[in-house]
Amino acid sequence: MDPHTAEFGFELRVCRWAEMAWPPGEPAGDDSEIIVARQLGTKGRRWDTIVLECDPEGLRRRANFGPDRLDGDLRHVVRNAPAEWTYYRDALPHPGYPWRYVREAIHRADDRGILETRKSGNRIEIRRKWPYPDWVDRIVAIENKPDLDASAARALGSQLEYDVAVGLADEVWVATRPTGERVEPVLFEDLPVEAGILAFDPAAPTAEVAWYPRSLAVDEPGTRILERPDGGARDDSAARFEYVEPEAKAEKRLAIAERAYERGWRSFVDTMRPDCRHFQLRADGVGDAEAAGSGTAGQALPYCAAKGCAQTAAECAGTCPDFEPEPPAWRTRGWPIEGGPGTRYKEILDRRRRRRRSGL
Ligand code: SF4
């Protein structure tokens, strides 16, 4: 199988497994709730899978603010909005950028129904509807490498060193396919000891911990590695790095959590072509979308009938040579008037995504 296809399917299965069985190696407790997302991070580093361990009560209160993320400007407003009517410039700390952007954010928050506003003369006054809750306990990053050979491990090693140095996630893991040997050979490869290793069987799906991670110091200053010497015999230059303050890290963590909350991991369909006649959503072991939508079956995964395999998000685009729009008749006979199977697939995934967010 094409390695990209294999990696994409592996990643979706890791996401599904994490949603059901996180944390690995422990019985699931009810003291935290899990939100899983994929392909998120910072400008310099994108993680394959992200697991948010959330405070259940905080998560329910976060739902007051709706399913869409709160960007930095909105967070500045709702986190500092007072309990009593107050002129916005008296209520909010100076944002470090012009106040007109704050006014824009206030209007957006008002439009979304997450802030109360009124005019008093020329002045805009604001009052909070709900306090913004502390809803994220921990952020866990998982890199998915189904086939971790020596060269893949070397490349991954420097990415993980970056994660460990910055300490933006509480834990980092590598998920890889088990080899069946007594000691997973990946343990001998060049990965930082702080990273955990999961031997993940995508068919089951189940995971065993081959190496436990160390918790990273998210509340302490981090070090962002900007450049590292290549280490050759003539290269004695020093690595370049910069410090990242704990406040900046906390803000970045919340930004990542908000995006994860909005997107989840089933949003893969947003960048694919479910309106193509060959697009299918298959439930593991059951094989059709109806079962996938029933909520009782296994995982709903994309499948391309033209290619006869699970396609990647990159392949399944308008540039795909096999793309054919779904016939108009599919939109009128037996399917809801609003759309054909493509629309229905999106609805199935949206419903599942919502079910994972308490209070929505
Ligand atoms: S034919 Fe191309 S666009 Fe259509 S479902 Fe398959 S991969 Fe996606």
Q: Provide the pLDDT for residue 328.
A: 74
Q: How confident is the model at residue 83 (pLDDT cuts 50, 70, 90)?
A: very high
For the Cβ of 241 lying below 6 angstroms from any atom of ligand 1, the answer is: no
d(CA 205, CA 70): 33
Q: Provide the pLDDT for residue 232.
A: 59
For the Cβ of 273 lying below 6 angstroms from any atom of ligand 1, the answer is: yes
Q: In the chain, what percentage of residues exceed pLDDT 70?
A: 83
Give tens-digit pLDDT for 110-159.
999 999 999 999 999 999 999 999 999 999 999 999 988 777 888 888 88
For the Cβ of 315 lying below 6 angstroms from any atom of ligand 1, the answer is: yes
Q: How confident is the model at residue 287 (pLDDT cuts 50, 70, 90)?
A: very low
Nearest CA-CA partner of 293 in 280, 307, 305: 280
Contact of 110 with 143, CB cutoff 8 Å: no
Q: Provide the pLDDT for residue 58.
A: 96
Q: Whose CA is nearest to atom 6 of ligand 1?
A: 304
| Beta pairing, strands 86-87 & 123-128 | antiparallel
Q: How far apart are the first and last CA of the chain?
A: 39
Q: Provide the pLDDT for residue 35.
A: 95
Contact of 165 with 153, CB cutoff 8 Å: no
Give tens-digit pLDDT for 221-274.
888 877 766 655 566 666 677 888 999 999 999 999 999 999 999 888 888 998
Domains and CATH numbers, the chain: 3-58+135-263 (no CATH), 71-128 (1.10.10), 268-355 (no CATH)
Instruction: Quote the ligand 1 centre to 303 CA distance (angstroms).
Output: 9
d(CA 295, CA 113): 31
d(CA 205, CA 24): 12
Contact of 78 with 114, CB cutoff 8 Å: yes
- Ligand 1 atom, smallest distance to 311 CA: 7
d(CA 139, CA 202): 23
Instruction: Quote the ligand 1 centre to 336 CA distance (angstroms).
Output: 22
